[in-house]
Amino acid sequence: MSASQDEEMRKLERATPKSKAIYEKAKVDVPFGVHSTYRYSDPYPVYFTRSKGTRLWDVDGNEYTDYNMGFGVLAAGHSHPLVVRAIREQAARGTDFGFEWEQTPKYARMICDRFGVDQVRLSNTGGEATMYATRFARSFTGRSKIVKFEGCYHGGNETLLVSVKPSKAKEGDPRFPNAVPSTLGIPESSYRNTLVAPFNDLEAVEEIVRKNADDVAGMILEPIPMNMGFVLPKPGFLEGLRSLADQYGFVLIFDEIKTCGKFYGGIRDYVNVQPDLITLGKAIGGGVPISAVAGKRKIMETIVPGVVSHAGTFNSNPLCVAAGIATLSKVLTKPAMNRAARFSRTLAKGYQDVIDDEGLRAHMSQAGLSGAIAFSSKPVTDWRSFQACDTGKWFAYCFAMMNRGIIPAGPSPDEQWTVSVVHTKDDIEEHLEAFKEVVGYVKKYDKTAEIVEAI
Residues with catalytic function:
153, 255, 282
| Residue 91: CA count within 13 A, CB half-sphere | 7
Exposed, middle or buried by CB within 10 Å (0-12, 13-18, 19+), for 87? buried
Alpha carbon 22 to chain centroid, angstroms: 28
Q: Are 87 and 319 in contact (CB under 8 A)?
A: yes
Backbone angles phi, psi at 122, to 5 degrees: -95, 140
Asked if 126 contacts 155 with a C-beta cutoff of 8 angstroms, the reply is yes
State how far the alpha carbon of 84 is from the alpha carbons of 124, 170, 281, 382, in Å: 19, 46, 18, 39
Specify whether the CB–CB gap between 218 and 141 falls below 8 A: yes
- How far is the C-alpha of 340 from the C-alpha of 424, rounded, in Å? 8
**What is the rounded CA–CA span in Å between residue 217 and residue 347?**
40
Give SS3 for 310.
coil
Q: Given strand 63-66, what is the order of strands in its sheet?
A: 48-52, 55-58, 63-66, 406-407
Rg for the chain, CA atoms, rounded? 22
How far is CA 149 from its chain centroid? 15
Q: 236, exposed or middle or buried, with CB in 10 Å at 0-12, 13-18, 19+? A: exposed
How far apart are the two ends of the chain, measured CA to CA in Å? 24
Dihedral sign, Cα of residue 300, residue 305, residue 306, residue 309: positive
Quick count: other Cβ atoms within 10 Å of Cβ 455? 13
